[in-house]
Amino acid sequence: MNDHIHKRVAAVTLGCKLNYAETSSILDDLCQQGWELRSIDEGADLIIVHTCAVTKKAEKKSRQKIRGIIRTNPASRIAVIGCYAQLKPEVLASIEGVDAILGTNDKFKIQSYDDISAGRIASPLVKVSPPDTFEEVYPGYSLPAAESSDRTRAFLKIQDGCDYGCAYCTIPMARGGSRSLPMAQIVERARTLASSGYREIVLTGVNIGDYRYEGTGLCDLLLKLEHVNVSRIRISSIEPDFIDDDLISLVAGSEKIVPHFHIPLQSGSDTVLKAMRRRYDTEMYFSRVKNAVDRIADCAIGTDVIVGYPGEAEADFLQMYRFLEELPLAYFHVFSCSVRPDTPLARQIANHERTPVESAEIARRYAALIELGRQKEYQFKKRYIGKECMVLFEASRGVKKGVAQYSGYTPNYLRVLVETDQAVEQTLSGNELRVLIESLGDDLNLNGRVLS
């Protein structure tokens, strides 16, 4: 390829942390092949849009983002990749200005990006192969390069796909069955990230608790990663059945694995959980969460819940509301149920086995849970006012009247804002410093002061 043209690449990522890890991997591979990483504002010959399709809203957001990028970057070639590309390539191909659609495996193939940018192919190029061919998932997967210059936190992929088959979920169709990277490769990549200046590594995957490779599991991997020269290791979203005594004991005794879990609940009604085909009930979930909070100092636990699942009666909703009130949670995210095509749930609705909840009722229940979530988050965070916490700071959030504002996260994932003189800004970005928490704002951000 001509070294003087078509060499600038930018990316936009939507959706989960796994998407961010994969975008970083793709960008790094491109940079190793001579591409120059740019932001969209700087202009790029090729713009990669990594999409999400977990809900109808996520698909709509992906389409809006794609169309907006096309309008503001008419000279750029646009490659749309990810779960939406895998599931609905025909929809994306109908958007004027899209040059390529690359599915779950195909998005890792560097030659496709060279071909797209060089203009040697007709538009749009569509490459969507079966999602779970192991050999094609990780070619050239090396050091994740950040989409920005901030090297505070890196997302490291350890696993892909899922075997759970929840009734509402499209992940098996988009990403295939569960499979894991070799432990030695993960550890080596973690070392590379650490030597490149990253302070925190976030382990990502679709179902990372299901990590298994040649007789080893997640706890075995974590024990190896504790020897990597990095300040923090964070476990991203993990299913409740994997929060067992072994994992809790490991985190409780670790100086690197942070006391933070995101454990999806989805419903607080056992009737709805069974309909969803989840692998636990509320009794099991509560015992796992309580065990973690009791045994791990400063443990913060977040969750996801779905409201308005077809067939969810008012009694089911009230059970979920009361259950969430009882749980020792730091925060939770609320989602309105989105019925995805070709899922068991969609077939149940088509066969009149389950009845959708009225949209007005979903909105009422959603609003009630949002308010409860705000109360839970407020109660959890206010206990830290007046305490000292270690905060890992990210890049500056901007300077106003000579005052620089920074944000960072405590080990248990509390966001903290501080203001400081612009002259000392280099002492904050990328550093882990002790901060006195002074107040809790209306936005539920903690405000603090760096201690000398």
Is 55 in contact with 335 (CB distance < 8 Å)?
A: yes
259: cis peptide before it, omega within 30°?
Answer: no
Q: Across the chain, how many H-helices and E-strands are there?
A: 15, 21
Q: HSE on the CB side for 183, CA within 13 Å? A: 15
Architecture of domain 136-382: Alpha-Beta Horseshoe (3.80)
Nearest to 22 by CA among 99, 125, 121, 108: 108
pLDDT given for residue 304 in this prediction? 97
φ, ψ for residue 12, nearest 5 deg: -125, 130
Q: Which residues 6+ apart lie within 8 Å of 109 measured at CB?
A: 102, 127, 139
CA distances from 15 to 19, 51, 53, 73, 178 (A): 6, 7, 8, 22, 19
Domain 8-133 sits in CATH at 3.40.50.12160
Q: What are the tokens at 90?
A: 């025909």
Chain-centroid distance of CA 189 in Å reads 19
Instruction: Give the DSSP H or E segment for 396.
Output: strand 388-400
Q: What is the pLDDT of residue 149?
A: 46
Counting Cβ atoms within 10 Å, is residue 185 exposed (0-12), middle (13-18) or buried (19+)? middle
Burial of 306 (0-12, 13-18, 19+ CB in 10 A): buried
**In this structure, what are the phi and psi dihedrals at residue 182, rounded to the nearest 5 degrees?**
-60, 140
Instruction: Give every strand in the sheet of 153-157, ordered side by side.
Output: 153-157, 200-204, 232-235
- Nearest residue to 186 (alpha-carbon basis) of 163, 202, 164, 210: 202
| Contact between 310 and 271 (Cβ < 8 Å) | no
Strands 260-262 and 403-409, by their bridges, are unpaired
Q: Chain-centre distance of CA 11, in angstroms? A: 16
The dihedral built from the CA positions of residue 304, 308, 311 and 316, taken in this order, carries a sign that is positive
330-339: b (≥16 Cβ within 10 Å) or e: bbbebbbbbb
Q: Are 194 and 230 in contact (CB under 8 A)?
A: yes
DSSP summary character for residue 6: S
Ranges of each domain in the chain: 8-133, 136-382, 388-450
Please give the torsion angle defined by the CA atoms of residues 423, 392, 145 and 157, in that order, rounded to the nearest 10 degrees.
-170
Q: Looking up tokens 């994932």, which residue turns up?
A: 413
- For residues 85 and 79, what is the distance between their CA atoms, to the nearest angstrom? 10
Tell me, what amino acid is at 126?
A: V
* Intra-chain end-to-end CA distance of the chain, in Å: 53
pLDDT in tens, the chain (452 residues): 444 455 899 999 999 989 998 998 899 889 988 999 998 888 899 999 999 999 999 999 999 999 999 999 999 999 999 999 999 999 999 999 999 999 998 999 888 888 887 766 667 899 998 886 544 344 334 434 444 446 788 999 999 999 999 999 999 999 999 999 999 999 999 999 999 999 999 999 999 999 999 999 999 999 999 999 999 999 989 999 999 999 999 999 999 999 999 999 999 999 999 999 999 999 999 999 999 999 999 999 999 999 999 999 999 999 999 999 999 999 999 999 999 999 999 999 999 999 999 999 999 999 999 999 999 999 999 999 999 999 999 877 777 667 788 899 999 999 999 988 755 555 688 899 999 999 999 899 999 999 97
